[in-house]
Amino acid sequence: MPRPHRANFIYHLTLIITGVLLVAFIGTALISPTAPSDPLIITGTETNRSDSAYLGSNSCAGCHAEAYQDWRDSHHDQAMQHATGKTVKGDFNNRVFEAPGNSALFSTKADGFYARLAGINGEVQEHKILYTFGTEPLQQYLVAFADGRLQQLPVAWNTLTEQWFDPQPELLAQPGEWVHWSEGGKNWNSMCADCHSNNVEKNFDIASNSYSTSVSEIDVGCEACHGPGRDHVTAVSSANFDAALDQLHISMKVGENSQAVVDQCGRCHARRQQLTNKFEHGSSQLLDYYLPQLLTPPTYHSDGQILDEVFVYGSFVQSKMYHSGVGCVDCHQPHSAKLKAEGNKLCVGCHSSELFDTPKHHQHSVDLAGTMDSNQAQGTQCIDCHMPGRPYMGNDYRRDHSFRIPRPDLSVAQGTPNACNDCHSKESAKWAAEKIVHWYGPERPAHFSEILSAAASQPNNAVKPLVSLLNDLSQPAIARATAASLLAPDISLPQVERAIIHATNDQSALLRTISVQTLNASANKVSPLLERLNDPVRAVRIAAAEGMVDVPENQVPAALTDAFSQANQEYQTSLMVNADFPSGRMRMAVDQHRRGNLEQAASEYLAALKIDSGYNGARMNLAQLYYSQGKLSDTERLYREVIEGEPKASDAHYSLGLLMAEQGDFEEAALSLENAASTGNNPRAWYNLAVLHQQSGKSMDAEKAYLAALQLAPGNAEFINGLVSLYGQQQRWFKAMQLIDRALIDDPNKPSLEQLKRAVGQRLGS
């Protein structure tokens, strides 16, 4: 019989389902409710200064005139501004924008600028523009919603073409989905404020589902990077100024360690999860407040190249430059944020122009440049080959900061992108790889991307190389941490568990955090998790507390009771801080699920679905919970809802197939398992399908399914046993012996195979 249906917690984000949003025609009847007032609390104004430690950027100008002038009108200064005739760049002269699922009318009135478009429940409403958001190459706009929300319009102004446009036309999002402009994915309070303003307190109240967000300045001012200025001003204004030089009470000082500066820039220039209610200056450790995302799809390509918008940090910390002591301000002016030099002049400040700024190295000339498709890249600039990029938000071109050598050979082997074919898009990756061999020879410098990309395409052969990457201290911490996360499904293997436990004591806080998370499913996790409850970095302590959720309290030594209590409080805070995200509610649900509080867990799963109707990870877990309660019809309904919105959701097909088999509907079970096998990379789906066919007397179909399972998982003893049993039913003992002998070539000392061979040999001899 197929393996019984079992609970299997799903911790990671399921791909968001998108649908077609009904076009909100401009002529539709207009709903004109009372417009919400500006919900933003600005504490830094003279009339409303609740936090006097923050003095405002203007207070810095007197002593730091040059830095202040560089900052003025920079992208940081214009990160967010009040919507006025001076700051608004878009055309609000009764301009209409129309696109599939997204229409708007932009107009000007005596009291400001307005946009009329379909919002909550698809109703057309008129909204006053309160703030501009960003400045170029696109400017976006914020409007007020009820319950303290500021929302980002789904239409932006393209400053390059001077036109209105949809920055994400592929979404076609419907109301109720997280990515719809009226929902959480476009909510300023949760998605934008922490990095576009200064001294931010989100202040989300889970009970009322409302915000009372406050900032001291609405843009990225001096104190956003350098910290509150009051104590700094007091120190430098003191009579004993010389004695205060080493106590300036300021962050990101001149001459500070480059990696510490990268971490401080990274709090905003990273895809990351927030861990605390508010960022507090003074710590140089990013993971005291945020946990960066790893190098995994859909954020990155499988080899670590940028895919979604990652804001540089996770890309840069992969690079040799970062590990050689190069930091953000070596290339970028710290206050204007402009490059310190243009073109190759920036690179040859450190790299020899004689060796690298020459056709002998880059192999491109003016004649070759004419054959390329891109007007931006000509092959003679360092960034063309070592910093390929892609546009985000429709027209915002961002470059990969991992500074890697182009690898078209990996494109051939693994399907990953490469800089060569970004320009030579009409040529194949094989063509580009052959060019590289012709110019530089057949050998390529070893790079962790080879292991990560191979692990994605060949997961059944990934354990040994991933363990090797994890143990390699010369590799970037973010790559090693990614390897640790990819090893989570194999934590029961002794070599994996040993490597992960060893990594919980690594120098890198990121690797310690991810290793502790990976140990969550280990039977031997308690001791290494207890050791990390007193870790100096908050993210590690939170991971340890999360891993201890299902550990009986009597296993916590008395000496660690206080540490466990504090770490658990930090963990609970991290959950509450993200309670307005569907993924945050999902973590809260899983937390309750692991504690055995099933009703509370179900409530949190439903809350996640209320925030985002397309969040299928919550549906899958809720289905597993209902199954454990014997609510089989609800379980089946949820699986089918997932499949309806996401037809290629292999896990849902697989789980539904097991459920149908358990209830005796073998025809429906076979259909679901076949869908699971054909849409995913799950050898167990093929195996269970084979068993089902075998029991139904469909021998040929069973054999095909067994062979498909073994192709994905060669040498799997359970699969071999199944196929041998099928051959035995058919008296095809010689065929069974051939199968066993092939398996023994790959694993000659496997006792189960030897035992099976003896049994089959007896059959052949009889």
Tens digits of residue pLDDT in 440-454:
999 999 999 999 999
Do 125 and 49 reside in the same domain of the chain?
yes
Indicate whether 90 belongs to any domain: yes
* 618 touches 608 (CB < 8 A): yes
Tell me what the mean pLDDT of segment 607-631 comes to. 96
Task: Give the pLDDT score at 581.
Answer: 96
Do 200 and 303 reside in the same domain of the chain?
no
Integer Cα distance of 607 and 605 in angstroms: 5
Domain limit, last residue, from 514, 543, 562: 562
Task: Give the angle 443-450-15 at the CA atoms, nearest 5°.
Answer: 150
Indicate whether 657 belongs to any domain: no
Query: Exposed/middle/buried for 400, CB within 10 Å: 0-12, 13-18, 19+?
Result: buried
740 closest CA partner among 752, 764, 691: 752
Residues 303-333 as b/e (b if ≥16 CB within 10 A, e otherwise) read bbbbbeebbbbbbbbbbebbeeebbbbebee
Instruction: Output the six-digit token pair for 431.
Output: 């063509």
Do 52 and 181 reside in the same domain of the chain?
yes
Condensed to tens digits (0 to 9), the pLDDT of residues 89-98 reads: 999 999 999 9
Task: Give the angle 197-202-205 at the CA atoms, nearest 5°.
Answer: 165
If one counts the domains in the chain, the total is: 4
| Greatest C-alpha distance within the chain | 103
Supply the DSSP symbol for 243. G
Tell me what the mean pLDDT of segment 585-609 comes to. 97
Enumerate residues 6+ apart whose C-beta is below 8 A from 637: none
Domain limit, last residue, from 562, 590, 614: 562
pLDDT tops 80 at residue 44? no
Domain limit, last residue, from 562, 588, 607: 562
Q: Which residue do the tokens 């890198």 mark?
A: 508
Task: Give the pLDDT score at 320.
Answer: 96
Supply the DSSP symbol for 740. H
pLDDT tops 80 at residue 749? no
Supply the DSSP symbol for 29. P
The one-letter amino acid code at 605 reads Y
Task: Give the pLDDT score at 757.
Answer: 80
Indicate whether 688 belongs to any domain: no
Integer Cα distance of 631 and 480 in angstroms: 42
Do 120 and 218 reside in the same domain of the chain?
yes
Do 174 and 294 reside in the same domain of the chain?
no
The domain in which residue 389 lies consists of 252-270+283-405
pLDDT tops 80 at residue 27? no
Integer Cα distance of 230 and 531 in angstroms: 39
Task: Give the angle 526-529-535 at the CA atoms, nearest 5°.
Answer: 155
Do 460 and 397 reside in the same domain of the chain?
no
Give percent helix, percent strand, percent coil of the chain, each to the nearest 5.
45, 10, 45
Condensed to tens digits (0 to 9), the pLDDT of residues 297-350 reads: 999 999 999 999 999 999 999 999 999 999 999 999 999 999 999 999 999 999
Do 207 and 167 reside in the same domain of the chain?
yes
3-state class (DSSP) for residue 274: strand
**How many CB atoms are closer than 10 A to CB 619?**
27
The one-letter amino acid code at 196 reads H
Task: Give the pLDDT score at 356.
Answer: 94
pLDDT band at 753 (very low <50, low <70, confident <90, very high): confident
Task: Give the pLDDT score at 45.
Answer: 56
Integer Cα distance of 668 and 666 in angstroms: 5
3-state class (DSSP) for residue 100: coil
pLDDT tops 50 at residue 534? yes
Do 63 and 198 reside in the same domain of the chain?
yes
DSSP 522-561: -TT-HHHHHHTTT-SSHHHHHHHHHHTTTS-GGGS-GGGH
Indicate whether 536 belongs to any domain: yes
DSSP 18-39: --PPPP--TTSPPB-PPPPPP-
Integer Cα distance of 107 and 26 in angstroms: 12
Task: Give the pLDDT score at 584.
Answer: 97
Integer Cα distance of 322 and 261 in angstroms: 11
Indicate whether 208 belongs to any domain: yes
Task: Give the pLDDT score at 373.
Answer: 46
3-state class (DSSP) for residue 689: helix
Integer Cα distance of 236 and 597 in angstroms: 55
Provide the CB-side half-sphere exposure for 499 (13 A, CA): 26
Indicate whether 617 belongs to any domain: no
Do 66 and 145 reside in the same domain of the chain?
yes
What values do phi and psi take at 172, rounded to 5? 45, 50
Enumerate residues 6+ apart whose C-beta is below 8 A from 514: 294, 481, 482, 484, 485, 543
Integer Cα distance of 225 and 264 in angstroms: 8
Most confident range (mean pLDDT) of 4-8, 255-259, 405-409, 610-614 is 405-409
Do 218 and 306 reside in the same domain of the chain?
no
* 216 touches 198 (CB < 8 A): yes
pLDDT band at 172 (very low <50, low <70, confident <90, very high): confident
The one-letter amino acid code at 65 reads A
**How many CB atoms are closer than 10 A to CB 346?**
18
The one-letter amino acid code at 263 reads D
Do 213 and 261 reside in the same domain of the chain?
no
Query: In this structure, what CATH number is given to the domain that contains residue 558?
Result: 1.25.10.10
**How many CB atoms are closer than 10 A to CB 447?**
19
Integer Cα distance of 582 and 572 in angstroms: 16
Do 382 and 452 reside in the same domain of the chain?
no
The one-letter amino acid code at 719 reads F
pLDDT band at 747 (very low <50, low <70, confident <90, very high): confident
Task: Give the pLDDT score at 390.
Answer: 94
